Structure 1
Amino acid sequence: KSVYITEFETDFAPDDSHQSVVKFSPNGLYLATGGQDGKVRIWQIVVPDESTEDSFKKAFKVNEVATLDGHTGCISGISWHSSNTKLLSCAKDGTCFLWSLDKKGKKTQWKKCGKLGLAGELSIQTQQKQSNRGKFIYRACHFHELSSDHFELLTLQTPARGSSYLTKWQYSSDTKSITELTSLVIKDTILCSMATNLRYIACGSSDGQLFLYSYRELLAIKTIAAHYLPSTGIAFLPRSQSSNNVEDNDKDGEYHDELTILSGSADYSIYLISGISPSKTETCAFSESRIYPGHGTRLIRKDGTTHILLNSKCKSLFLQRKKPAKIVWTLGWRRMNKKLRVEEVTRRRARKTTKIQRAIVGVSVDELKKKRNQKPAVRAAARDAALKEAKDRSKAKKHDKTPVNKAIKNAPKGNLKKGGNRGAI
């Protein structure tokens, strides 16, 4: 097939007009653009099937469906919802808006249905004002869909110098409000780009490194040195669709995992990173905190036992034989004082019991089965008959005993000596 290139203007800023974000809708029918003028525009593109370049340019059509006006700075991020009826946008003026497509009869109109907090006004950011310099801006924003009706929002905020903040937000359709769930601080690092999928978050920093986090816990998984200059764009490679060609399936097989990342940088380099395995973490023997690769000290005793400690403070307290349950900042103290939610899962071994019926001396197995299967009424009648028979037998024994002569029994005993009359003639 022939490839034809055409162009059309999407940003109308009077000074330094440029386009910064371009995103196609999931159904491929619409294109959302954002640039220097601070407006998000939604376009409907008609791509013709023409054989020549001139006929292609004549048949190519672009219609501006909507203009979303609300930002005053350059647009830095756009994200589509899978339903094609919601859009999330953020800008360098510190604002982030949620837009929704309202349908009233035959008319459709895009409206603002939610607003996130201004960049730099998070509770954790106010506590770290001294370590951050410059104005906070939104770098990127993404939808994270948990189900068809429920979704979360993920944003990236950075100052001019200092730390970066990954924040998860929850949207309530009833109250149409957006609340902060949790935030992760990446200390002394400026992140420039962000991508997400169902399980992971990938970020590119100003020094060219790539950071990988788990979405659920916001825990660091891997740090990769990739570029020499800031990372300008990053994306997870989608799972490739299987084709009929066996050779193509073999080539695409190594990119079927969820940790294949495509990263671009200002140094004109593009890297495809695959085969990432999450780093193994250790647990501190004193504080029970998580120890990531490259951190902690390993203590080996004379008997060969190994203990991994987080830092010199934990090592000193461990060698002093201090009890972690008496130190406030350890997990042992928190667990003892019920400050930590502990979920214990106990598995019971299922044992299969097989019953074997054995014969008793004098009673066969068949007779035991008959007695076991007897009805309660029959069993009660048999029991009463057996009791009656036992009572009759005891009465007969009493009558069969020989009578005792009462005269002999009651006769007085004489005063006879045991030895008799010794020496009698």
Structure 2
Amino acid sequence: MVRGEVLVDGGARILVVVGGVPHPSVGASVVLYHHYIEGLRREGYRILNLMLLQPDNSDEAGLDEYRARLQEGEDFQIVTCRSPRFVQTSRYRHAFDHAALTPVRAQIEAFQPQVTLCLDFASAWAVEGWSVGSRVVWLGDLNFQTFLHHALYSLKEGEARFRHVAMALWHAWLWRRLYRRVLRPCESVVVSSKSSERHLAALGVHSGYQPYPWPAEPPPERMGVKAERPTFFFFGQLQGLGSRSAFHVTVEGIYPRLVRTWGKGGFEILIGGRGGLPAWVEAAIADKPEFRYLGFVEDLDEIMGRCHALLAPIDVPVGNRSRILTALSKRMVVVAHVNTALGNPDLVDGRSCYLADGPDAYVERLRRAVDNPEEAAAVAERGFQVYKRLFAPDVAVAVMNDIIRATLSGRVK
């Protein structure tokens, strides 16, 4: 559905394809989508926003708020397409519900976009083969990595057998083939994780890492006073791959060593986030009172302000974790796995955060965060400067705007 006629005269025309309803502060990828789109809006382009909506990523109230927030009108128009599920996976193939887009394809192509910004892979797949100008694709985590790692964790947790891992390897191969086919013709591919450059290069796809906009900086007075006993915060999308990885390291490796360090009840690990606790985690921490599950936390500033460190032992070598950026933006010291620096190379042990490669190293760094508050505060301040220099919305959005301008002028970055 489009409100008003699609205009093709006047300024540069940008098509933006996005899955879900962007929001300035609630969610994960949809947050950075909102800031990229809002940044283009401020540049004065004529924008047509194609939204791929399905039951698990949209609701009418959120869509109405988005229309009002972006001031839908002559220079910013919205087309919505709906499907029960756009990306469909079966035993032998991955498929996209292109039939859901058939009613609007002619309308989109009549807009004659000069550049199309596809926010994540499904958006690029949606308009594959369309006449939509030069394509800039932004990518989050790569499906062929997440698919396989989830299967390996399912095997570890007793939810899968080796044949399921074999099937995941097959599906990962199918994803790689799709990524190669869809992305190689695109003029520019931007990745949110530095490590993705290497994986895409193996497919013959050139890409460039760029930090993404992440709005989380609070006024300093919002941050609370540190708790008396050592207190650490574990948060994120609790059913996601990063949390799945970190839960295993925390429960199986870090927790027993924290008990040896501070004794039973001598410390606390607060768990917050969306999605609920995985069943195996709920069972594993039932007799461990040092873990406290908070559910979704409305006031992150107050909780994070009284914790001594963010505990982010994400050892899976995938992605550039937004929970770490949230902590950096709040001047909270981060204790993470060394693999997180594969996605974000500005995470440097002892400088912008603390990095560890095993349970003993985690506990040593958590102790430093508690016992040496001046050192921890200096590390947190340098982490904050990394956030301000690279991930603050005005900075990261300006980089994407430069890429769009270069693409419009034929000087693709």
TM-score between the two structures when normalised by the length of structure 2: 0.25
In terms of fraction of residues, the more helix-rich structure is: 2
TM-score between the two structures when normalised by the length of structure 1: 0.24
In terms of fraction of residues, the more strand-rich structure is: 1
Larger radius of gyration: 1
Which structure carries more relative contact order (alpha carbon 8 Å, separation 6+)? 2
